[in-house]
Amino acid sequence: MKTYKTSFFLTIFFLALISTFNISNVLAMNEEEMAEQALRKGFIGEPTAIDSLEDVPDEGTVKFDKERRMYYLGNSLDSLDGATTSSTEVSYESEDYDDLDEGLQKLLEARDSTNNVLKDVDKIKMHESLMRDKDRRTKIGTPHHVPYLSNGQLVIDFGGGARYIGSGTLIAERVVLTAAHNLYDRKTKRRAEEVIFYAGKDGLSAVAAGRSEALEFPTEWASDEASADAHDIGIVVLSRDFEEKYRIKELSHYSICSLSDDSFAEKIFSITGYPGAAFIDGCLRLINGNYMFGHSGPHISLTPHLIHYNIDTSPGQSGSAIWFQEGKYTFCCAVHVRGGPKGHTYNVGTRINEEKHAMILQWLKAYK
pLDDT in tens, 140-185: 999 988 889 999 999 999 998 899 999 999 999 999 999 999 999 9
Separation between Cα atoms, residue 166 and residue 198, nearest integer Å: 11
The answer on pLDDT for 106 being more than 80 is: no
With a CB cutoff of 8 Å and minimum separation 6, the contacts of 101 are 64, 66
Would you state the pLDDT for residue 49? 56
Residue type, 109: E
Residue 212 belongs to a domain: yes
Q: What is the DSSP letter of 281?
A: T
Q: What SS3 class is residue 18? A: helix
Distance CA 256, CA 180 (A): 16
DSSP-based three-state secondary structure for 261: helix
Above 90 in pLDDT, residue 191?
yes
Report if residue 35 sits inside a domain. yes
Mean pLDDT in residue range 187-208: 91
Sign of the alpha-carbon dihedral angle for 274, 275, 278, 284: positive
Give this prediction's pTM.
0.76
Contact 317, 168 (CB under 8 A): no
Whether residue 290 is contained in a domain is answered as yes
Structural domain includes residue 17: no
Number of H helices, E strands in the chain: 8, 23
Residue 242 in domain = yes
pLDDT at 287 over 90: no
Q: Percentage of residues in the chain with pLDDT exceeding 90? A: 41
pLDDT of residue 11: 52
pLDDT band at 216 (very low <50, low <70, confident <90, very high): very high
Q: Residue 316: which CATH number?
A: 2.40.10.120
- Can you list the positions of beta strands (E) in 200-298? 205-206, 208-216, 234-238, 255-256, 269-273, 277-280, 283-286, 293-297
The percentage of the chain sitting over the pLDDT mark of 70, rounded to a whole number, equals: 67
- As a whole number of angstroms, the longest Cα–Cα distance in the chain is 88
* Burial (CB count <10 Å: 0-12, 13-18, 19+), residue 95: middle
**pLDDT by residue (tens digit) across 351-364?**
999 999 999 999 99
In this prediction, residue 241 has a pLDDT band, given cuts at 50, 70 and 90, of confident
Q: What is the pLDDT of residue 343?
A: 66
- pLDDT of res. 16: 46
The pLDDT of residue 248 is above 80: no
Alpha carbons 273 and 290: distance in angstroms, whole number: 10
- Determine if the peptide bond prior to 218 is cis (ω within 30°): no
The model's confidence at residue 280, banded by pLDDT at 50, 70 and 90, is confident
Using CA atoms, how far apart are residues 269 and 180, in angstroms rounded to an integer?
21
| Residues sharing a CB contact under 8 Å with residue 61, sequence separation 6 or more, in sequence order | 116, 286, 288
User: For residue 192, what are the contacts with CB-CB under 8 A and spacing of at least 6?
Assistant: 156, 157, 158, 182, 183, 184, 212, 215
Tally of domains within the chain: 1
Residue 229: per-residue pLDDT: 80
67: left (phi over 0), alpha (psi -120 to 50) or beta: alpha
Cβ–Cβ < 8 Å for 166, 355: no
Residue range(s) defining the domain that contains residue 353? 29-85+93-368
What is the predicted pLDDT for the residue at 120?
A: 40
Check whether 118 has a pLDDT greater than 80: no
Which residues make Cβ contacts (< 8 Å) with residue 25, sequence separation at least 6?
none
Per residue in 294-316, pLDDT (tens digit) is: 999 999 999 999 999 989 898 89
Domain for residue 361, yes or no? yes
More confident position, 203 or 342: 203
